[in-house]
Each structure stands twice: as C-alpha cells, then as structure tokens.
A and B are shown apart, each in its own frame.
Chain A
C-alpha cells in the first residue's frame, strides 16, 4: 500500500495510476476530496485494487493526519511508502505577496509535509521497508525574483529530504527527491515555457521503476540536471538581468 499526497490531479494522479496499474493499493490524499474520490473509484474499477480517498488540507495550521496514520497502522507490513507530489503556486508570489499567502505556500510546499513524514516515521518500525518520495521544482535551483516563496519552500523541502536520507541511513527507508522541470499539468498550462514540458505519465513510470532504489536526488526530465548546473554557474552580473 502506498500513500500519495496530492493525488487529485496532475503528477499525483499520474503516479496513482501507474502504481495502481502495477497492483498497488493506495491511499489518495488531497484537499480536493471530490477529485481524489473520483480517482479512487476509477482506479478500483480499472485495476481491481483497493483505493481510499482522504481529505487533507496541507495549508491548515494544524493539519489532521489521523486518517492517514490509521491507514498506515492498518496496513502494517503492507505499507510500502509515501509519495508527496503535492504543491501549489500563486500568481502573486512576488515582492507584493500577502504575508498570509507566504504562510500557506510554506505549509503546502514544505512544512506540513515535513510534519507528516515525521509522524509517519514515528509509527513505522525501524526495520520497515518503505520509500519516501518528495517532489520539488527546478524553480529552487537558484534564487530568482518570480515565485520567490514557492522556490524557497521547495528548496527547504529538498534540503529536508536530503537530510532525511542521511538520517535514515540506519533504517530500511529509501528516501528520494525528484526535482521537476516544466510538467504538462495545470500548474504550467497557461505559461509559455522555453523548453518542452515533461509528461506526468513518464515521470510516474520512472518513479515506480525506481521506487526502491537509493537514487537520492534526481531530475526529471533528466536534462534539467545540466541546465541546473549551468544556471548555478552563471555569474551574478549576467544572472541579475535574466527574467524567468
């Protein structure tokens, strides 16, 4: 059984579909429970798996993880991991952003996920064989003027997952983090981007294939690794003029 947080649409839904197609039972988590319920029904009807939908608002100051944690307890050894492709952006994520929006962006893109992972690890045995998979963005490769808070939150998420990987060395926990380039989801739908958008289904298949591999941080599509390295090396006198 896997938990997928952010399963209502886009990357999360694609991951749910691939895992279901491979016979995995699922707990699908999102604040959009109508959508996760529809995803759950669809996957049960198509693949004969067991799928449950759980409503959770990551933006809440005290998100209620009880239903998720109960599902982990019930699954016992069948619980194999959690994937967290959840995330959100807002158009006004600039110097003019409202402070309430900063709070919500950090909660959804980082803090609530860190809390959930922490609670989950407390419930699982040291010898439990599980995978924890986080998802970030190439927006966090280097600080820039647009999507500032989103980028900062995703940078924190990535750092947390890297630290988690180190912290879990003595456990049978595989920790992975995917840095995503432009993806063909609603998050990037309305934006003209200079490079092709990655297909959620292709990402999902790679995630499933590598779910038990100790790959650490990985880029999708893979060429973003090179682009990220180049972006980091651009000297400030040039970088400050780039608008992206």
Chain B
C-alpha cells in the first residue's frame, strides 16, 4: 500500500468556470438562434434524469432558454416509477417481520394501502441505508431476515450486482429488486401517440455505465436524436445546443457531450456484472405504462438471494384497500410521460407537498414535483 500527499480535492474551491455567465449567455443566444431557424411555435426535448432536473431547476436554466424551446423531464426518477405492488411487497415483508433496508426516498412512497414509513410507525422494522453494502452490514449485525429493497436505474443496479457477486454474504440477507432499466422507457415515451418529444438529453452518469453506444439502436428505430450531457449548468446548455442543432438538421444520431465521464462502450466491467446478476422483465412503471424489459430482476441462479423466491409474499391482503380520492387525482404518471407539468396538477403545492406527498414524484428528491416545489420549475420569462 502506498499513499499520496496533498489532494486537489482538499484544496480551495476551484473557480466555477462552467458557471461562466458569458458562456451561458453565448449558449443561450445560440439556442435562441437555432430555435428561430427552426421557426416553429415549439420544440420539445426531454431529459430522463432527476439530477438533470435538479440542476435545471436549481440554476434556473429554463429562464435562459428561448420561449419556443420546451425542456421537460420524463421518467427519470426510479423511486417515482416503482409501482405500488412493488412497494406492497416490501410492506408485506416488513409487516411479516423482516427488516427492510432501503434508500431513504423509498420509505415514504405510498403503496396500495400504506408506505414503508406507515408500516414502521405500526412497529415494522425499516432502516434507511445509503448503499447495498450497508444493508449487508445490517444483516451481519442482527438475527432478523434483512431484505434490501433495491431501487434505482443502471447506475445503482450495478452496485447491487456487485454485492450479489460477493461470496461471503450473511445467510439472512436477501434482495427485493425494484431496479429499472431506462432505455425501454425512452422507447415507450417515443411511442406515445400524443408525444411532442423531438429529442432526448441522456443522463451522464447512467451513460458512464452503459456507454453512449447503447442509444444508437434507439436512434435508429425512432429517428430521434440523443445527446449525452453532464450536470454542470453549462454542460446542460451545451448539450441542449447540440440537441437542437441535430433537430434543426433533421439528424437522428447520438452525440456525447460529456466525454470526461462517458465513453462509447461505457464501463464494461460493471455491465458484465449487472447482466450476470440481472435479467430484464416486463412490468408496470407507476402511472406510465407496462414497459417491456423495463425492470431488472435477479436471475434464477441467484434465487437464494431473491426475496421473491425465498419468501411467500402475499400482497392480496393490501389490494382490498380503496385508494384515497386524492391519490386518484394525482397526475404523476402523466407528468413523467412528458404530457403535463407539475403546475398542471391541481394538487401541486396545495393538498400535495413534500410534508404530505400524495404521489411519489413529491416524495423523491429526483421527482419532478418535489424538485419544482423546492426550486421552482419554470421561472416567468
């Protein structure tokens, strides 16, 4: 083992060159010029990442976009698209005595009858973890069956896969996978008849894993351009400029505007582990649609770690529950499909806020509604 001395990271904050206002103005002007050239009333592009929405809303980027450029968030929040029956499975396991370990945002997401937080308030054991490793540590430290309720897109699924492939897991540890795979969801959005989406901004860190080459097939089949972008405000603006250029030119191709983190082939070590552990399965994404191959489930050979194989999870007793009138008025699914904005929802900021969320989009820090509630989404121009 060797060590290094000083670290750039410990040093003083670097000048935020990507927040350079002159560059931002130049990119904004370029976008305005491009939209003028296109000359239509509206050009709509979609991103599919909660962290992108956080940055867009936090830095007020929509205020510098031309009025005719409509930037919306699609199904980019894995917690939000976790379906009620998946939450129900975790709730039943918890009520039946397992300790559920899960990422914090999952705890308050409503199931059919209750959330994990509700179950915990009635005595069930629910622990928030920040990583799959911490769930394993919990299992090592107690006698109870510990079930890791695993959510997240590819970026997070690879971490769960690495844990599954460890050879010294405690016998009381298992996984309830609600992991989601993004590319099939982009296809569903592209196929919605009323969609106006003309191009996608792909999330930089998910593409760090999958590589930008993954989107070539999508581009070929749907004729829509995809641009991979980073998370700095100027990364996002630069990504948008390239995307709108491609739309203007009628060019359907993939472009990587985040080369410092993304390569064509991606992280093949992580991909290998992910596909060794998971297979895709079709299933509902909450409020959106049944997404073919949009879920990641443990392969048969890992059945001993799969909570669904290990326990008889009978969620029927929850299904008799009649959803509240408020739940019926929630339009999370329509928002995540790109067909409505949070401000179109009559509950937004009234009956539904982060303290008393009606839908999952107001629970998760990656949910469009919660992000808009904190930062505001579409500043008045």
* A and B interact physically: no
